[in-house]
Structure 1
Amino acid sequence: MELAIENNFVTIDLPTTVQSKSLTENKMEEEDDDETICLEQLKLRDYQMELAENACMGRNCIVVAPTGSGKTHVAMYIMKNHLENADGKKVKKVIFMVPTVALVEQQKSLFEKYLPKKICGITGVDNISIRQLITVYDIFIITPQILENSLREDRNFMAQLTLMIFDECHHAKKDHPYNAVMTRYHDIRDSDRDADLPQIVGLTASVGVGKAKNLEEAKNYVLNICANLNAIYVSTVRKNLKELNEFTNKPLSKTITCKTRQTDPFNEMINAEMMEIEKVLLQNKDINLNSVSERGCDPYVQWLSRLNKQISVVFDQNNRLQLLSYYEFLKMYNDALMINNACRTKDAVSFIKQFVCKFENLPAESQPQNLISLKLLSNWTHTLHHPLKIIADDQRYNNPKLEQLKTMLHEHYTLYPDSRCIIFCKTREMTVALVNWTKEADELKSLNAEVLIGVNKTDQTKAIQDNVMKKFQKGKCKLIIATSVAEEGLDFAKCNLVIRYEHVTNEIATAQTRGRASRAADSKIILIAEKGSNVVVKEEINVELEKMMNDAIDYIQDLTPDERRGRIKIIQKQIKFERSMNEQAKRLGIKSKNDDPYEIRCLKCTHFAANSGDMRTIENAHHVVVDPDVKERITIKPHPRPLAITPVYKKFGKVHCKKCDFDWGIMASYKGVPFPILKICSFIVRNKETREQANVKKWKDVQFALAALTDEDLSAMTEFNKELYADVMPPSID
């Protein structure tokens, strides 16, 4: 392979033709032997070579670069370099993972233009195992669940892979399939340190900072992503920033605030109906929730989620099913309020009618839950439907936000008739309502707006999604109204206007959305928000979080490789331990920490100590905290009377509240492993949902189950806990 540098480009000389095979529409298509594809030259600028450097040296790394900077071209260069530098040990096989089905075909088409290799794209709809094809192709473009399924069947399949690239790698956390794949990678590595594992490369425009509130927490968050991907290096553009800025288009961003309806009778009537349903629910003995003051908003969605959880564990089946009927109507009405707020009242009325029609043919002599549904249906039919239909047709209640949006779109397309625009909104229902509105607005009909949402069997198949994108590129459709599915990765080269219609999520989405308009000249990103709403504030916070993320990455890059490796190793041990604890909790039927309804707080100052799910018992007598973060909440002092209580159980320190210095318990070691041991009389036990709290004198009186610390758990956390508490353990304890 020869490299030639000219005009800030590094050119790779490739063959002009290549045999190519592909997998499409659920089957392999055999190609004629004489079929050839003319390849384009793969050219990298200096800043792109800088991004590729660590990966081309065989290092596990995360490549972080702005959208529109050519990360996919960097990835192709990395893949080609990897495949052509054979070491003779085994045949090179590359897995390129993308988070959505739509990206598989897009990336496959691009790779086939540049790479002289056999390339295969597989999604879940193909119903084909990657293991069947591993000897046939060089590069596989897949959704991660495909690989996870293959590794579940045979974890040794990992040994046949030599490079795994994770596109949009910021997803490699929690329960995402990316993290499931990497969990299997870590399991293999932990069981065999000499295992021949593939190189790992992550690609993203923004790793994010999660729930970090300061720079230190942001550093830890980024390091956690590195730990999940086993990536010691983070590659960003530092030397060639001037060139990056020169060749990366930055869309103009602005925020437009608009008024709401002066009066909204739809909102008032639906709110009144919901309040009546809530009264019945909250009087039920099996429901323990506070009432809410605001509906048609995200906090109410969260309240409904808590309600659904409580309903799901109601023992009496008739009561549970009746409660579920109330819940379904509340959820539907809340969705209708959100549609009415963003769109037209007639769209909200249509949504309700579509929902209630499934109850219209229920028999009069029916199950108890159906009688509830029929009662709620009757309220809609005889009390609400007719007056709301009149309101929907009354122009006095038109939505000012839609008028603002219509004016903006009309002016833009008058100036730039061949423009492409994407409008992002919060829910699938809103996308449908907005498309219907554009088709009925004379000024917008010609745009032929289409919906773009996530692939599923009922709303939008992959074929429909592909067709929408093709129509958009060709100009047959000039406006797409989408949910967040279009924020990541999808290439809309001609898009020069992105509108976020009261839709702001996190700092990652802010960076990703910027990329949807970054490829076209004179592009704009506009946030439309209701005057006085928190949407504008959230966007301002996201901008600050993005700056904090960049500072965290700079800090991590300035560490030496050994320092990064050491920090990441500690995090990986912690992750392994927490996974072990969660697996034990599942075996015992105990809720995980995230779902745990109880928390333990200091009796004196109410400082948070631990979740109930973080507690374990030793020998049915001692109650230890297994959450490593507890060390940040406590002060450990030498015990005035250190003592070996048994040959395996020794106390050596006192544990105090870090905030008020209240006595919480002792530090002790069990079989050489240090733990904080708490005395429950020093705490209040609080229910997270109801906020009810109690101070109990003995652990046997707490309202939650406590799991025992097993030998398996102890083995998993021995090394980690010794490192965590090394600064407070006396030498004689170890």
Structure 2
Amino acid sequence: MSHSQENMLPLKIKSTYLHEDKIEPRKYQVDIALQCIAKNSLVVIPTGLGKTIIAILVAAKTLEISPPSSKVIIMAPTRPLINQHYETFLQFFTIPEDQYAILTGKISPDDRPKEFRSHKMLFFTPQTLRNDLVSGNYLLDNTSLLIFDEAHHASGDYPYTMIADLYETQNPDGTILGLTASPGSSQQAINDLCLNLHIPSNNIHIRKRKDVDVKGYIKPMDIYKIGVNLTSLMEDVRKVLYMILEERLRYLSQLGFLKVHTDKLYEKIIRKDLLELNRKLLAIIQGDGEKTGAYKSLSINAQGLILYHMLELVEQQGLDVLLKYLEKLQKDAHKKNSSKANRILATDPRIRRIDLELRKHYEFEPNSLLHPKLKVLKSVLSDEFSKNPESKILVFVKLRASVKNIVKKLESSQTIRPVRFVGQATKSDDDKGLSQKKQIEILDKFKQGIFNVLVSTNVGEEGLDIAECDLVIFYDVVASEIRLIQRKGRTARHREGRVIILYCRNTNDEVYLQIAMNKLKRMQRNLQNPQTKKKSEFSRFTVKKGSELEKEVKGRTQKKQFNLVDFVNTQEQENHTKVLEQEKEGDIILNSNLDMKYGLRKNLNAASIEFLVKQSEYSLVVFEKILIQIIDPRESNKSELLKFYEEWKTKFELVVLVIDFIEFKETFLDENRLLKQKFVDFGKNKNIQIVTIDTLEELFFLVKNVFDYNTQRSERGM
């Protein structure tokens, strides 16, 4: 077999929109993509298994069944990731580059509508698209596919949620595709994600590392956990901070704002509890009710949050990082706009003693302030480079201040060539962000081996084209299973990889690690075989039998000239997945120019009715013998209509003219009713089957009933 034959795309996924000689999709990618066409879907597969290729296949097939002028929108949370998608789509699609546009906040809002209308392939940051849609700069009625990369962000007030809502309203036939490696640990989180993106829960397509069709593409990944102990100095500082924190918690408890009663409140109350209390106290202060103790409690609560941050620095980052924070606290306390909480803590004699003690150690014994994890990190890196000098290592760190600190400490080694990698925002003069250009430059140098250790904040977790890493190190632990998955995904793509998690024993670090691992296990359980679960309550693409909608549509339609009673199918169709096969004629043929407002592509797919989309003079044809032609009431000339009807009658056993009044706007009083009556009379006089429709649901109801009736007749041999 020749190389060109080996690389040929499967027949079902062939597309004029794809460079067949450039793309080599894997079987599982094709299988998943075919199940996502014309159906809102969520794809959950491990990082490195090619979610973008699946998106490309779905985009190509979606464009084939959509009007020629339709668009595809690809969204991702960051500009670098958007640029990455732009390059990938451009590489594999046959669509010329002048049809591509990147629309981010960098493009003027005044220029974006023109850019949107003049391009076919659009790459957005979600905030930009949401802002334009809210401003009414353009609609999504001509967008056939909306791709949400890193779809797990679709929660709360993140733009993904509003965009999905607007899209469903503006384009009934549009398709949503969500991509993620980590949808969330709980069943509720997964359900919420699907609900926010309007994805039926039986349209989740999952692959895990151990699945037969993907495991051959994933290299082994070993995960190691290395625990360290706090130093005696760290223990002493922590005890004092807990003592100060306990006083604040007890005050809040005595006023009834904290419902926990125990000897050591700091063992039961976590930072999240104080964040929630902060919201409640603000609501009390802004409300009309009793405010006794609320103002002081708000300040006490703020002090508690600062103390929790200090404790986190001690346990996770080191006393040297805490010292820098205390210096900033003292400096901020002297500013005019300083908060009361800042001033109180900065002048607390115990905090000042900690500050003085740490300063002494910094002057005479600076290494005593370093976190024990740093020593382990250096040892692990040195050992790795002694065995494999060409290794590339990614170190994830929670705080930007620690990134800078760790890079500085590692630079003294001859074999370790570290580089700082953070986001674009500038925090201070000492902590400047990296421009997108600088980020790309650093990643290129990392790939080339100029740097061999990338010390990164969470900006390196999602999607960025970071070189394959031999080793990923978590310098600190995050309780989020989503971030755990994103970090792990930076290794073991094309060769064996390792993950090392550093944590501090008998601290919240250890607790967070256990929480993250448990959440990860729960997520794997909750993602088992969603297709076998009970049909989701938000599967809303069919007119349900017996529903008020069916009764209303059926009642209105039966009163019209075309009698549908013979076409009603009393049996519900099961919602099986059927593949759109290009080489096979469908039961229904749709005109590729058919307006997406009707939602027919998605509704037919949801009803498991096979259809083919192609250029045609007819709106849609059922079983090659029934024509359903959609007519604009304002553009129809009766003499031409009669001429066409006489021609159509010779080709089809039944011709139904559907007069579309869905968006009809009257130019004079009662025009709608009078025009409908003219069409009805015209049909009666000429023996033409005419149906006027006022809602989108009526058209699908008509098509489905015609299809069901003729299917039954065929089965009975009539």
Question: What TM-score do you get using the length of structure 1 for normalisation?
Answer: 0.61
Cα distance in 1, alignment partners of residues 268 and 137 from structure 2: 41
**Structure-2 residue corresponding to 1:687:** none
Counterpart position of 2:644: none
Q: Which of the pair has more CA radius of gyration?
A: 2
Does the C-alpha gap of structure 1 residues 174 and 270 become closer, same or farther in structure 2, counting only changes over 3 Å?
Answer: closer
Equivalent residues in 2 for 1:229-628 (5 A)? 229=199, 233-236=203-206, 242-263=212-233, 264-275=235-246, 300-312=270-282, 313-314=284-285, 326-360=300-334, 362=336, 373=343, 376-377=346-347, 379=349, 383-392=353-362, 394=365, 395=367, 398-439=370-411, 442-443=412-413, 446-453=416-423, 455=425, 460-463=433-436, 464-532=438-506, 533-551=510-528, 554=529, 556-558=530-532, 564=535, 568-569=539-540
- Alignment-mate amino acid for residue 147 of structure 1: L
What is the DSSP-based 3-state SS (H/G/I as helix, E as strand, rest coil) of the residue aligned with 1:564? Answer: coil
Structure 1 residue 219 displacement after superposition? 8.0
- Give the one of 57, 68, 83 matched to 2:48: 68
SS at match of 1:557: helix
SS of 1:405's equivalent in the other structure is: helix
Amino acid at match of 2:385: Y
3-state SS of paired residue (1:109): helix
1:27-176 → structure 2 map (5 Å cutoff): 41-55=22-36, 57-83=37-63, 85=64, 87=66, 89=67, 91-117=69-95, 118-128=99-109, 130-154=112-136, 157-176=139-158
Q: Is the 8 A contact 2:18 2:93 kept in 1?
A: no
**More off after superposition, 103-112 vs 293-302:** 293-302
Q: Number of residue pairs matched?
A: 521
Question: Residues 296 and 251 of structure 1: is their aligned pair in 2 closer, same or farther, counting only changes over 3 Å?
Answer: farther
Alignment check: 8 A CA contact 1:59 1:199 kept: yes
* Deviation (angstroms), 1:164: 0.6
CA contact (8 A) 2:103 2:122 kept: yes
1:660 aligned residue: none
Deviations 1:454-509 (A, max 9, x none): 75676535435444434433333332333333222222233221112341334433
Matched, 1:203 2:179: yes
Letter in 2 for 1:77: L
Flag the 1:242–1:309 CA change in 2: closer, same or farther, 3 A: closer
Which stretch shows the higher mean deviation, 302-311 or 160-169?
302-311
Equivalent-residue separation in structure 2 for 1:223 and 1:371 (angstroms): 41
CA 1:430–1:295 in 2, change beyond 3 Å: closer, same or farther? farther
SS for the counterpart of 1:495 is coil
SS of aligned partner of 1:473: helix
The amino acid across from 2:90 in the alignment is E
Q: Deviations over 1:96-136 (max 9, x none)?
A: 01123331122223223332332222223434464221232
Name the CA shift for 1:246/1:286 in 2 (closer, same or farther; >3 Å): closer
The offset of 1:336, in angstroms, is 2.6
Distance in 2 between residues matched to 1:572 and 1:400, nearest whole Å: 63
SS at match of 1:158: coil
User: Partners of 2:44 and 2:370 in 1: how far apart?
Assistant: 44
1:183 aligns with: 165
Per-residue Cα deviation, 1:157-211 (whole angstroms, up to 9, x for no partner): 02121111111223333332111111223445xxxxxx5542211222233343x
Q: Distance in 2 between matches of 1:139 and 1:6?
A: 29
Range that drifts further, 530-539 or 414-423: 530-539
Aligned partners of 1:322 and 1:142: how far apart in 2? 45
**Would the aligned equivalents of 1:104 and 1:143 in 2 still touch at CA under 8 Å?**
yes
* Structure 2 CA distance for aligned equivalents of residues 566 and 371 of structure 1: 48
Deviation at 1:254, TM superposition (A): 2.3
Quote the Cα distance in structure 2 between the aligned partners of 1:412 and 1:266: 34
Q: AA paired with 1:164?
A: L
TM-aligned CA distance change 1:570 to 1:422, over 3 Å: same
570 and 319 in structure 1: CA distance in 2 versus 1, 3 angstrom threshold: farther
Query: C-alpha separation between the residues in 1 aligned to 2:453 and 2:108?
Result: 33
The alpha-carbon distance between structure 1 residues 495 and 250, as it changes in their structure 2 partners (threshold 3 A), is: same
Q: In the superposition, relative to structure 1, how do residues 167 and 371 fare at CA in structure 2: closer, same or farther (>3 Å)?
A: closer
SS of corresponding position for 2:178: strand
Equivalent-residue separation in structure 1 for 2:275 and 2:204 (angstroms): 38
CA contact (8 A) 2:346 2:352 kept: no
1:396–1:355 CA distance, 2 compared to 1 (3 A): closer
Residue 449 of structure 1 contacts residue 481 of structure 1 at CA under 8 Å; is this kept in 2? yes
Identity %: 20
Deviation at 1:93, TM superposition (A): 0.6
Higher mean C-alpha deviation, range 511-520 or range 307-316: 307-316
Q: Which moved more, 1:321-330 or 1:196-205?
A: 321-330
Residue 15 of structure 1 deviates from its aligned partner by 10
Asked if the contact 1:68–1:249 (Cα under 8 Å) also holds between the matched residues in 2, the reply is no
Q: Structure 2 counterpart of 1:331, which letter?
A: L
For residues 282 and 258 of structure 1, what CA distance do their matches in structure 2 show? 34
Shift of 1:451: 3.5
Quick check: 2:397–2:456 contact (8 Å CA) kept in 1? Answer: yes
Secondary structure class of the residue paired with 2:240: helix
| Counterpart amino acid of residue 473 in structure 2 | I
Deviation by residue 1:502-535 (Cα, 9 ceiling, x = unmatched): 4133443333222111324121112222335224
For 1:375 and 1:63, the matched residues in 2 are separated by: 49
Structure 1 residue 289: deviation in Å?
6.4
Q: For residues 278-315 of structure 1, what are the alpha-carbon distances to aligned partners after superposition, in whole Å with 9 as ceiling and x for unaligned? A: 566667x6966658877999953223313423543437
Shift in CA distance, 220/275, structure 1 to aligned 2, threshold 3 Å? closer
Partner of 1:671: none
Native 8 Å contact 1:322 1:372 kept in 2: no
Match of 1:192 in 2: none
Identify the residue that residue 658 of structure 1 maps to in structure 2.
none
Determine the structure 2 residue equivalent to 1:593.
Answer: none
Q: 1:270 to 1:42 in 2, by over 3 A?
A: same
1:357 positional shift: 0.9
Equivalents in 2 of 1:318, 1:384: separation in Å? 34
Q: Which has the higher strand share?
A: 1
Provide the residue aligned with 2:6 in structure 1.
6
Contact 1:496 1:520 (8 Å CA) reproduced: no
Unaligned runs of 5+ in 2: 545-718
Could you tell me how far 1:275 is from its partner in structure 2? 4.4
Instruction: Measure how far apart 1:145 and its partner are.
Output: 1.9
Q: Secondary structure at the match of 2:116?
A: coil
Shift in Å at residue 91 of structure 1?
0.4
Q: Kindly indicate whether the alpha-carbon contact (under 8 Å) linking 1:336 and 1:349 is maintained by their aligned counterparts in 2.
A: no
CA distance in 2, matches of 1:202, 1:137: 22
Contact 1:155–1:184, Cα closer than 8 Å, also in 2:
no
Partner Cα separation in structure 2 for residue 266 and residue 404 of structure 1: 22
TM-score (norm 2): 0.63
Tell me the amino acid that sits aligned with residue 305 of structure 1.
L
